[in-house]
Amino acid sequence: MMRQEITSMNAVYSNMRRGDWARWTLLAIGVIATAGCFSPAAQFELNMIAVHKRELESEATFSTQYQLQPIAEILEASFGTPDNPVLPPVPGIEDVLDLEKIKMAAGPYGSDENGKQRGLYRQHCVHCHGITGDGAGPTAAFLNPYPRDYRPGKFKFKSTASGQEPTHQDLNRIIRDGAAGTAMPSFKLLDSDEIEALTHYVKYLSIRGQTELYLIEAEFGELLPAVVKPASERNAEEQEYVESLTEEELEEEKAEFLEEVAFFESRENIVEEVVGPIVEKWMNAGDEVTEIAEKPEMEMKESIAKGRELFFSAKTGCAGCHGESALGDGQTAEADFYDDWTRFYYDPNDPSTLEGYLALGALEPRKLRPRNLRQGVFRGGRRPIDIFWRIRNGIEGAKMPAAPPIVTDEEIWHLVDFVRYGLPYDALSENEPHQPENVRVRN
């Protein structure tokens, strides 16, 4: 296809030289028509928002040659491209990522030479989640909440506690069932094989994204490239810094810098220092599933009543966010509430840097609201166990805290009953807002 394209472009140019305008126009139309089936190889994009953030923090700009390029090379050597994924040689990685399945989801939509399905991710997910999994596909800007950015490896609806990776099963379930009340659709109609492939692909994009973030923030981001840059590329702070060094110090720092960069030319070092620890956390996610005490036998009505009491108690603090009437309008809801994905680049107390991030493709910050629980819509699933996990562990990245440890598992079960059966089914009109006598005083 590429060769054909070039040949026809040559034809265009030689015709132009002859000045045969009518023919040229016809050929040009032909080229435009065939360009539809010619798409350049898809590329992962570098996480420039993270780079920019690191640059602001360190008051230095990344060197293309010594930082950005090596990061891109390490990522490509370790994970390949969107059309041709590979896996880094981390021992045991096959327990987390299945390359055959990843290949089913990767690449352009269609089938390979053996008739095997490919391109599921681009067929079903890319317009929201983006080719790199940055949650900023072309549709994203119109949605609230925004699609997940997989790159920090943080997920909301999982069986593990905050700070832990989700299990394979958690991701598989959200892809199958979708997130009710959001744009995240259910993919129940796909084969279980296809959902498996997509689950592996999401993990692949996450692990790749976490590796990238670690390289940007911790490894290459900690190097100050001023010493290796030509003077014309230094900013004022960098120039000042270099001028403060003696010739000897400058040479020393340069050598140190180049040594640090050279460390990552070794594949072994990358696996051991960077990718290995990330993969390990995913490997262990299954052991981190929050164990749940069995639900005690109890009359539902009684359990709902206990749950109601707990919901409005200072012990749980639920009403502080979800409100006296559970409409999601508690006092905390007034505060500057943004999720962690937004907080990464947006500080409501200092909005001055926002513009720079928006120019790099960051999405306009959207306020997060505690859920209106009277609607009975549960994004993370409506099975009792789903709600149990949400209350016990909180919702990572979304300001919903884990229930305090003094709240027992039995009490969580009462809250589950209240949230599932107490709230949505008692019509607001018939129900006076709860009198907040046992809720801490507003200040």
List interacting residues with ligand HEC (CB under 6 A): 124-125, 128-129, 139, 143, 145, 147-148, 155-158, 171, 174-175, 179, 182-185, 187, 198, 202, 311, 316-318, 320-322, 332, 368, 370-371, 373, 378-380, 387, 390-391, 395, 398-401, 403, 415, 419
Q: How far apart are CA 173 and CA 167, in angstroms?
A: 10
Shortest distance, CB of residue 39 to ligand HEC, whole angstroms? 20
Q: Which residues are within 8 A (CB) of 238 and not within 5 positions of it... i.e. 6 or more apart? A: 59, 60, 61, 224, 225, 226, 229
Q: Which residue lies nearer to ligand HEC by CB, 19 or 404?
A: 404
Shortest distance, CB of residue 156 to ligand HEC, whole angstroms? 4
Shortest distance, CB of residue 145 to ligand HEC, whole angstroms? 4
Judge contact between 134 and 148, C-beta under 8 A: no
Shortest distance, CB of residue 178 to ligand HEC, whole angstroms? 8
Cα end-to-end span (Å), the chain: 68
Shortest distance, CB of residue 76 to ligand HEC, whole angstroms? 23
Q: The tokens 């589950």 sit on which residue?
A: 416
Q: Which residue lies nearer to ligand HEC by CB, 6 or 300?
A: 300
Shortest distance, CB of residue 334 to ligand HEC, whole angstroms? 11
Pairing of strands 110-111, 117-118: antiparallel
Judge contact between 304 and 110, C-beta under 8 A: no
Q: Which residue lies nearer to ligand HEC by CB, 52 or 414?
A: 414
Q: How far apart are CA 131 and CA 136, in angstroms?
A: 9
Shortest distance, CB of residue 277 to ligand HEC, whole angstroms? 22
Q: Which residue lies nearer to ligand HEC by CB, 363 or 403?
A: 403
Q: Is 322 helix (H, G, I), strand (E, B) or coil?
A: helix
Angle at 18 between CA 16 and CA 19, to 5 degrees: 65
Q: Which residue lies nearer to ligand HEC by CB, 184 or 304?
A: 184
Shortest distance, CB of residue 107 to ligand HEC, whole angstroms? 15
Q: Which residue lies nearer to ligand HEC by CB, 125 or 213?
A: 125
Q: Which residue lies nearer to ligand HEC by CB, 260 or 324?
A: 324
Judge contact between 177 and 248, C-beta under 8 A: no
Q: How far apart are CA 203 and CA 98, in angstroms?
A: 10
Q: Which residue lies nearer to ligand HEC by CB, 179 or 285?
A: 179
Count the residues in the chain: 443
Q: Which residues are within 8 A (CB) of 354 and not within 5 positions of it... i.e. 6 or more apart? A: 345, 346, 362, 365
Amino acid at 299: E
Q: The tokens 């796909």 sit on which residue?
A: 190
Q: Which residues are within 8 A (CB) of 30 and not within 5 positions of it... i.e. 6 or more apart? A: 8
